[in-house]
Amino acid sequence: MSLTTQIAWDDTVLPFQLDRSDIRGRVVRLDGVLDAVLAQHNYPAQIEALVAETALLTALIGESIKLRWKLSIQVRGDGPARLIATDYYGPSADGEPGQVRAYASFDEERLDPEKSPFEQIGKGYFAILIDQGNGMKPYQGITPIAGGSLSACAETYFAQSEQLPTRFQLTFGKSTIAGGPEKWRAGGVMLQHMPKASPSVTGEGGSGEEGVLDASDLLSDDAEENWNRANILLDSVEEMELIGPSVQPTELLVRLFHEEEPRVFDPQSVKFGCTCSEDRVRQSLSIYSAKDIAYMTKEDGNVTADCQFCGSSYTLDPKTVGFQAESKPDDES
């Protein structure tokens, strides 16, 4: 396969449907985007892995939101990995790419080299937030950190909050194409059983870890058989099939699910993008009083702010920020 073909599928999300099984899904390749996200910071390997997994989940889940909506994933814990935050911005218009950004907050001194990236989170929660724009109340769904991976947390979120059986299979890492530099390559598949009616769920808790719901609590009879068959097929996927570059997403679907009658839809391109700006920074500082702004003012007489997502730095005149646009008081007593 030519390098041109390989590049054509980089940074795309391909929606599909398995007509025989009543299952929908998406295939993601997140290569240049992940390179750009992780290039903004010098993260330890364990934190890179958490950011990469969360970015993949964000692209797969975010593809379904409407134009100009924003979907965020936040992972918070009491371990060394305190926060993983990602955003997916829906396209501004049909044909435009979605945008992904991500960052992590962590305590490097507490990282344990003997533990997996997921174990660095500790106890906490996995949250999905959807912002539909001005005048609309944001939606938020939360599930506990459990299951051994962030993918498992996302599956639990859909079972608990949406009552939709959902499965993720992801892989990522650094690789080198002959003659090229080392780059991140990442890919994955999301499966989701299409709802036909509200499932009957008792209030006695589910069969998953900590009593949460999973697919076995939501499906029965033929639907459960179809779901299990599709999952067995997905289990057979190889890592190199997920990240390419020798296998296109359409070819991957045929390899895995040809008997399930796969049908693909238009792919959605994605790119790294950050919405920070001087105006947004000024707006975020508008909640502070003149005294607070005076405390933030540096020796050179300016207020500075850095974007956690892209590393952009902003230098502002203190007279133009805060809800009281005053100069620094001579006497703060």
Q: Is residue 328 part of a domain?
A: no
Q: Are residues 121 and 234 in the same domain?
A: yes
CATH number of the domain bearing residue 291: 3.90.1280.10
Domain that holds residue 154: 7-272
Tokens of 134: 């001005």
Place of tokens 């903004």: 40
Concatenated DSSP letters of 173-201: EEEE-TTS-EEEEEEEEEEEEPPSS----
Task: For residues 78 and 114, state if they share a domain.
Answer: yes
pLDDT at site 180: 73
The pLDDT assigned to 330 comes to 46
Contacts 24+ apart (CB under 8 A), 306-309: 307/274, 307/276, 307/281, 308/85, 308/103, 308/105, 309/40, 309/87, 309/101, 309/102, 309/103, 309/274, 309/276
The per-residue pLDDT for 286 is 76
Asked if the structure places residue 330 within a domain, the reply is no
Do 58 and 21 share a structural domain? yes
Residue 106 confidence (pLDDT): 97
Residues of the chain with pLDDT under 50: 1-6, 197-203, 325-333
pLDDT on residue 38: 93
Residues 80 and 30 in one domain: yes
Residue with tokens 């991976």: 149
Residues 147, 45 share a domain: yes
Q: According to the model, what pLDDT value does residue 202 have?
A: 46
Same domain, 24 and 48: yes
pLDDT tens column, 170-182? 999 988 766 777 8
At which of 252, 272, 292 does a domain end? 272
In a domain, 332, yes or no: no
pLDDT of residue 301: 85
In a domain, 329, yes or no: no
Is the Cβ–Cβ distance between 76 and 125 less than 8 Å?
yes
Phi, psi of 95 (to 5 degrees): 90, -10
| CATH number reported for the structural domain that contains residue 221 in this entry | 3.55.30.10
Q: Would 94 be classed as within a structural domain? A: yes
Same domain, 167 and 50: yes
Q: How many domains does the chain have?
A: 2
Task: Look at residue 331 and tell me if it is in a domain.
Answer: no
Q: Residue 296 is encoded by which pair of tokens?
A: 């933030």
Give the alpha-carbon dihedral of 326, 329, 330, 332, to 10 degrees.
Answer: 180
Collapsed DSSP state (helix, strand, coil) of residue 88: strand
- State how far the Cα of 184 lies from the Cα of 32, in Å rounded to an integer: 7
In a domain, 326, yes or no: no
Which is nearest to 297 in space by CA: 323, 327, 331?
327
Q: What is the pLDDT of residue 297?
A: 86
